[in-house]
Each structure stands twice: as C-alpha cells, then as structure tokens.
Structure 1
Amino acid sequence: METTRQDEIPPPDGRRHDIEREAMSKKAHVIVVGNEKGGTGKSTISMHLIVSLLDRGLSVGSIDIDARQATLTRYIGNRAARQDRTELSLPIPEHMAIPPTGDASADCARLEEVFRDFAARHDVVVIDTPGSDHPMSRLGHSFADTLVTPLNDSLVDLDVLALVEPGSMKIRRPSHYAEMVWETKKARAMRGEKAVVDWIVLRNRLSTLDARNKRDMEKLLADLSKRVGFRVIPGLGERVIYRSMFLEGLTLIDLKKKPLGFDFNMSHVAARQELRTLVEAIGLGQPG
C-alpha cells in the first residue's frame, strides 16, 4: 500500500495549538463518514466516495481511525494487491491507518499530525470513523466540512440520532450522536473555523422494512433534520455485490472498466445512480 508513514513522531503537547492553527489554513475539503452504530456501511461508503472523487480528477487522502476493525484499510489493501491494477488504471488514495493505542492524547496528536499533512497536500480528505465514541473520533468529526452519516432505515438505528416516544412516535430529544456532532461544531468555532457543517444523512434501504415503519422513519427524520440541521438523501440499497467487490478491492466506479468476473447489469446501473446522488450532493469535482 502506498505511503504508510508509520514512523512519523507525534508532535509534543506544546505544539497542539500550532497544529490547530495550521489546520485552519487547510486547503482540502474534509469529508467525515461517521455514525456511532456499527453495521451501517461506513467503510463501503468511504471507499466509494474516495474512488468517485479520484475518478473526478481530485487528489484524495484517506484516514482510517476505525483502524482496530480496519475495514477501509483492508479494502484499499485489496485494491493495491490486484495484479491488474495498472492495466485497469485503478487509482489509489494516499492512505493512513491510525489504530488506537490506549493513550487518547497521543492518538489525537497523531491524528492531528496526519490530518495537517494530508489537508495541506490534497483536494479532499476522507476520514472513516469507528462505530463507537472515542476522543479520536470526536476530533475527526471536528475537522468535517461535510459529515456523511449512513443510517439503516429502521427505528432501532434511529436511536443514535434521537430518542423517540413510543406512544406518540414523536421525537423526545436528540440522542448522543447528534449531541456529539453539536459539540464538534463548537470545537470548530473555538478553533476559529466556521461552525456550519454540511451534514448528510443517508437512508440505507432495508428490504425487510414494512411500509408503516418506512413512513414513520420518513416523518421522524424530517422532524429531526429541522431540529439538528441535516439533510436526508437516499443511501445505498442492499446489494450482494458490495461484499464481493470488497474482496476484490473494486467499487461501482470500476465496473465500467470491465474487470474480470464482474458483468455489468441493471442492478449495477441502479447502484451507481445511488452513488452518483451522494457524490453530487457533496458537490465536489466533475464526473469523469
């Protein structure tokens, strides 16, 4: 895999404010893919965003702070290991995995160092975050210009965003993840950056969800979006192809290059349109 500078030394604590000032002068647009609930497809979405943006001619750096699970890192590794990578012209981002060490202060200093470097040299930085609350995850969220939160279309998964009254089906209050996003906006303001973050919630469709639950989800998300400030767009559907593409290091964008073993069909056309909707909602670059 390209550029894994694991021997860099984290900055001493006294340089933290210098790094924050330098981060404020970043040129990159920062996309954070985050949700404290696992199993929502964060790494799949991160990889597809990365390749879509590379395909649009943008320079991309990617940071995996979900590095204990390391799905994005393995995905990129699978891509780099393909023998036909050069033949198919498969672009790869500059990537860094930052596994937690148990020392939160050192972890955050390491993330700041890598982020500062990537933000100064790339058009876009994509940060894949863990499905849990961690100081490094909160710091990563605070860098976001765009926050993408994939959400399975179920009331169980909605719990990370809002507490819902079961009788009235009304929102009692925003939940812990929404509150964490609010706190990271305050952290941006304290650094002198704009506190406004373009927060996009992706509704990943579940084929098992009945019509009533879908209506409930639609109403609750519409109400919550006004309260906490996000917009909702359709997410990715349930498609077996995502699992097979992970093992091959491929994305929907690569299927137009006709890699061996993948026949392009109408299901892929629909899936690519879902991805295009997300990329266009973020609004970076032009289609390749």
Structure 2
Amino acid sequence: MLREAFEYLTTPCDPLARRLGYLSEAVALGSRHRRQRQNWAPHVAACRRFIAQAAAQAPKGGQAVVLGSGLLIEIPLEDLTARFDEVLLVDIVHSRSVRRRVAGMPMVRLVALDVTGALAPLDEALERGWDLPTGFTPPALPGSPPCAFAISCNLLSQLPLMPLDAIERRAPAIPDAARLAFAQRLATDHLRWLAGLAERAALFSDTESLWLNNGAVIEREDSVWGLPLPAPDSSWLWDIAPAPEQDSRRDLRHSVGGWFDVAGLVNSLPADCPPPR
C-alpha cells in the first residue's frame, strides 16, 4: 500500500484525469500486474508478438504512435525503436517507472493526452446538468499525419469505462440507452480516427469477459459495446484476475482480438454504427 500511495502522490497527472480516476486506475493496474505477473505472461507475450507483427507490415522509418501505452507491460518498445525513427507513447497518465525507462531514449516521446477529446466536454456537461456531449473530436497528435504506424493497445473496450463511471456517480438519472450510445460513439470515433492516423494502423482489444467457476464458463459479457466487429486476425485468452483477485471463487478471463488493418475493419462496419458526425 505504501508503494501505491507514493506512486499516486508523486506521479504527474492532469487534474481532470486525476479527478476522473485515471491515475488511481494506472496505479492499481501496476499493482495487479505485480501480483499476477505469471498468469499474465502468455497475454503479455501475445500482445508483444502481435505488435511486432503489425509493425513489420508498416514502412520502416518515420513515426510510430502507440495509443494506450500504459505501463509498457505489453509493448515491445525495443522492437519499435529499432524499426522507426521516432516512437510516440500516448496515454492520459505516464507513470514514474515509464518516465525512468524512456529517459535515456531520445527517439521516444511521451505524450499525455485524452485520445477521445471527450473528457473535458463530458465534465462540463455533468457539472452543468446538460445532456451527454456529442460535439467532441479526437485530438491532433504531434508530427505530420499520417505517421508510418499506429497501434491502439486495449483501448477500444476501455475508453468508455471511466466516463461511464463518472456518469453513474454524477448523473445517475441519465438513461441506459443514452449511456450506451455515448460509449459506442467513443469506440467508433476511436476506430475512425485511428484508421486515418497512420499508413498502417492496427489494434488489439479484449472483446469478451468470461467468468469461470472450476474451469467452466458461467457468465460472459461483450466488451466492445455491441459493435459488430469482423473476426480478428489473431486471438488469445488473458487470465486477468484468477480467484481471489477480483472474486473470491470465480476467475475472470478476457478474450482478446487483434486486427492488423484498422482501415479495413472500419470499412466493414455498418454505416449507421453509429454514423460519423
């Protein structure tokens, strides 16, 4: 607990991101990884292998962008720096351990950013009692797009979670249908933005949460907000929280999918899923 408290108090973080819980989540993720390192190892290896394979399909040199770089647990950073001239690590919070790791790597840049562009408008809407915002766009990144390569790391399922938590705390009367529409907007905006960000854009994301009891699946839940995604190019399982990590008797496992061509994925979605603004 002392380590987590120190990390929380000393990690640089935008005040809005801190208030919405992103820093707490980053600290908790690091703590969980330390406890579950062995159980996570196959997932971590699969992520690094997928990213390396995706990067190999992009032209060498130029700029690579890693969205949702997190604690760099799943990122083969050395492979990326060997292939590209510059690597942008983009996340809303960059931990002290990440800052230390890249301090001697001049080709790596940390970018602290809300990749949805929705958090400030959402915060204002909740503060003023307005409807959920629709007039937001993902931000511009440093450099001259399109970059050579971009990879979204487990963001598709995660982007709506903290905003939905804020809605539940501060505006619980907002209907479920409006919340789901907002979540789907965040997810589809991310896909469309990512597709135009790089000459080659890829992503991986957990797609389903599975609860198991004695090895048998007893409950499953969609993790991609009902979006009709095509079959992934690569898939694997992630034992994210074996009992009693999150539940005293049940194990939590994620199904994860990876897509090498986000532009093709976006083109496969129905035009009204939801429609671009």
TM-score (norm 2): 0.36
Please state which structure has a larger fraction of its residues in helix.
1
